Amino acid sequence: MEPKVLKLKHPIGHGDTAITELVFLGPLKGKHMKGVPIGGNAMCMEHILMVGGRLCNQPPSVMAELESEDLFEALAITSGFLPGGPTIGQQPS
């Protein structure tokens, strides 16, 4: 799977660094999904952000600072790594 690059419309300051893009690397592995509920429990935004942060090697503190335009794009990219998984806001059947 090719990396997916999200150029941030609203860069994030993280320490002395300005984060201007997120590079999502695949494929999705077990280490990315650790701690995510399975079975009848739906993934919530927190879980998708956690997986997204792991895919782009960013800490939760960076993912938490994404502004809405960048946030929803990051969530959509992350959902694309979940084969047959739920989309944002969808309950599993």
pLDDT digits (tens, 9 = 90+) for 62-82: 999 999 999 999 999 998 888
Tell me what the mean pLDDT of segment 18-38 comes to. 91
Break the chain into its structural domains and give their ranges: 4-80
For the chain, state the CA radius of gyration.
13
Angle between helices 68-80 and 45-55 (to 10 degrees): 80
CA angle 84, 87, 93 (to 5 degrees): 65
In the predicted model, is pLDDT for residue 93 greater than 50? Answer: no
Q: Rounded to two decimals, what is the model's pTM?
A: 0.81
